[in-house]
Structure 1
């Protein structure tokens, strides 16, 4: 019978001999707990640098270590920290509890959101990116099928997720949500034709009993609006023809709406069929936000939502609005606002405002930007110069050739605005139009229903609508909303939600660091994790942090990753 002990020889200066000192007794050799010894060795190895640990345990030479891969970790590290700070992982974990789904579904959805922010592509490409080109905590690998299944589940939990994100932005991040900016855009699909029409409910979702296509059956409630006008149940395809904001009326499209806070944080997104009317959009968005029992919401929208019907809808339930009014519309309000005398008051930077009294139940604020007025005048001079050069020799042309020239100019809005045709069919620069346009340089008109807010806040509030427009620009470029690599309605909706979540995290990074996401991303993606393999195992170690990376992590209050990220046994073949 043999007993095993871990001993250490200590020198005895008195006897001038070494004596063994028992550090640990393992017990009888035939009852040895080898798994416990492995755990002890692994624990002790953490006190050593990786190369020494592997060499000590295996007797291998440092040259036996192989540097097998290197992946960026900085971007996913920061996005994951913000994802958890917003409680998105907690919401998903709660909804996954008791659900017969892969417990890694939350990790897959985070990976898809991170992919949109860092290296956007199709879901098939995203799976390859996760497996080979990034490091995501808790998700060493996945498949495109897992990505599609996760997207399907995302639609089911969309209402709970949207509500949680909204209140976390309002409370945890301490962002004001009393002033919400709403705007819409469209994204087109290069397909041969629109989707087959299906009956839809008041939210623009397919009615399962009438749709006739189980594959496009009930989808998650992500706040869609009434499709095809104001009558619920009108059959219409999801990807269908409508007024395109990308000037592609020839292609099917879907309409997307977004609500954004003062700081540019997107708090909710909607997705509607491509021919949905403005009145249906604003009505559904207003109803959805009202369901969250907000005490007071001031809706800010651009000139496309200035119809009387939209304004009435926004005032329901005590709500208020700030909406732009088209000065070139020739409306009574625009004409009156421009004709009223009064001095402008300087507000901030280059912004000047003048409140004019036109109606009892609405306030009108005329805004003026001197620098913009100079740009408008310079641009008009360029346009009229090009027009004059284009029609300079047109008097010598035949009537038919002049008509052809007139037709070409009509396709150029900037030039066509200043073109006049005489009774004899000659082409001239419209000098009266040029004169009238000079009175509009640098000016825009705002409507507001709130009697308490100052004219300055009305103007500044509307100016922040640019945050929404910038959001659309970033969503279509940096996050690559388009092209959409999906044809099923529920997958398209899920794709839009993923883009919204990516934009949410990106905006939090930007507002906190004061830098653009492209700049932050480039710096973070230089932080890599390297993988080393040897006879005794595998370890992963990050590169050293740069001063810029430490500054970014400090501003975002994100802990730097451990130097040794993982230390494990050899991979089994």
Structure 2
């Protein structure tokens, strides 16, 4: 058999003058059939080509028509910092599914040559993912990849201009959002929940029509603030919000707010359910005078504040005797009061626990009082003891402080005028407190709701209070550092839109029994990251991190498809 040789090209390293060179060598046969070699080209010195060999190889592959492969030899890659994308992907899909991207049409004729909807989307998503100041939004954008965002670069002024445009088109935005919310609502929308909260505001400057006013905050202190009223459905979907001056009385805000809700949504009947802040004799008179555009009176369910319970002792005493049955089950009933139904719910177990806790606290305070009185008597008798000397004034001040901390000053009366340390127990106040333990009092003008139904309706109000906690914690609506009233209103609007997305996510996660809160779901999705690397040839490789089973379940629960590496991502 004959072995045939066809020749070929190969790379050879040669040494000359103490240096090593890379040469491209051809092997061939001469006319006599003998194998010969000749140097086709010297590629350069080996020590100078160490970092460029792969580029040379890729160049030769390109010339020869061979597709370069990332596995051909070692690569010197340049990696950029990973950017979070999973949480923004989910929010973007939800934003578009709900139709909020259609807000772009509202801002078509704005005086600013900016994509207001895209800038608004950035600020809303930031409240849910990593709430920051408007300057902080720019820092946040450096670490995320934004899906489907038609922007190349933004600055602080762009965000402020977007806020200005939001307020200039406030009515149109509210109408558009109302239209987008209608598909999420029950056809028979009869019950709305209304509540207000105070939002802290910083700064000492004064402006015309300033909404930042000094008022009593929910924490019980006087602070500069504005008030935020929110209306939501029984299912927890926010319908409307309004910003009021920080010293506004709650009852004056109810009628105009309800009227706006009725104008925007197909509501034939409204049962307003609000917290204890709206109940006073004057407020009740004003509430009963409210008539809806349909001509129907406003119906309401209001809780009686604890400070008013003393007004109902005579009405509740007969009911108390009925509540002490051995069965110890929750009992409901009603009596008439000022032309209204006064619905009473009594939970014996709650009453027993609360009463026992109060008795233990009173006993602990009395033990301290006896101890301090004994020490004072011993000091008066000339007996010395370890520690600092105790005075009547010091004992009185310490005891009064602890009584106040325990919220028992209406029962334990400390004599602040006496020179000697003394106190007494107001037995009638204690009896009254025990009478009110475990009770919920509701005033309502609804004609047909059974007591159990009215109580169930009112207890649903806790959901809107959770919404306020979301606004103040996860969304971090305050403290607010904006000075201008319209900027404050724009900030509240952005937080309100974030609350809508939060509530829709919460609804879907709950329906799927995932057991996750929206903030936990977003934090897990944030781990889906966008990666980008640059090859020595300046070729860019991009991709997404692998999606775990848990992340896939979250996306499925929210009705959102998985992101793919082909999605359009914006790096700002």
Equivalent residue for 2:254? 282
In the alignment, does 2:168 pair up with 1:168?
A: no
The answer to whether the 8 Å contact 1:383/1:415 transfers is no
Residue by residue over 1:247-272, the C-alpha shift from the partner in whole angstroms, topping out at 9 and shown as x without a partner, is: 331x3111111112112222221111
State which of 291, 294, 302 in structure 2 corresponds to 1:316: 291
- In 2, Cα distance between equivalents of 1:567 and 1:154: 25
In the alignment, does 2:318 pair up with 1:339?
A: yes
Q: Give RMSD over aligned pairs.
A: 3.3
- In 1, Cα distance between equivalents of 2:182 and 2:548: 33
Equivalent residue for 2:521? 520
The answer to whether the 8 Å contact 1:326/1:334 transfers is no
Structure with the greater relative contact order (CA < 8 A, sep ≥ 6): 1 or 2?
A: 2
In the alignment, does 2:80 pair up with 1:68?
A: yes
Tell me whether 355-364 or 76-85 shows the greater mean CA deviation: 355-364
For 1:33-112, list aligned pairs within 5 A.
59=68, 61=70, 63=75, 65-90=77-102, 92-112=103-123
Residue by residue over 1:46-68, the C-alpha shift from the partner in whole angstroms, topping out at 9 and shown as x without a partner, is: xxxxxx99xx9984745255332
- In 1, Cα distance between equivalents of 2:518 and 2:106: 31
TM-score normalised by L of structure 1: 0.74
Equivalent residue for 2:343? 365
State which of 241, 252, 255 in structure 2 corresponds to 1:269: 241
Cα offset, 1:431, TM superposition: 4.0
Equivalent residue for 2:230? 258
Distance 1:372 1:540, change over 3 A: farther
Cα offset, 1:389, TM superposition: 3.6
Cα offset, 1:104, TM superposition: 2.3
Cα offset, 1:512, TM superposition: 1.0
The answer to whether the 8 Å contact 1:418/1:430 transfers is yes
Equivalent residue for 1:495? 491
TM-score normalised by L of structure 2: 0.74
Matched residues, number: 473
Q: Which runs of 5+ in 2 are unaligned?
A: 1-60, 377-389, 511-515
- In 2, Cα distance between equivalents of 1:351 and 1:161: 49
- In 2, Cα distance between equivalents of 1:389 and 1:494: 55
For 1:147-226, list aligned pairs within 5 A.
147-172=159-184, 174=186, 177-191=189-203, 193=204, 195-196=206-207, 198=208, 206=209
Q: Which runs of 5+ in 1 are unaligned?
A: 1-51, 199-205, 207-236
**3-state secondary structure, aligned to 2:193:** strand
- In 1, Cα distance between equivalents of 2:268 and 2:534: 58
Residue by residue over 1:112-152, the C-alpha shift from the partner in whole angstroms, topping out at 9 and shown as x without a partner, is: 11111111111101122123334342145421111111111
Distance 1:470 1:531, change over 3 A: same
- In 2, Cα distance between equivalents of 1:454 and 1:167: 33
The answer to whether the 8 Å contact 2:231/2:240 transfers is yes
Equivalent residue for 2:24? none
Equivalent residue for 2:412? 419
The answer to whether the 8 Å contact 1:74/1:528 transfers is yes
**3-state secondary structure, aligned to 2:214:** coil
- In 2, Cα distance between equivalents of 1:520 and 1:69: 23
Equivalent residue for 2:530? 529
Equivalent residue for 1:46? none
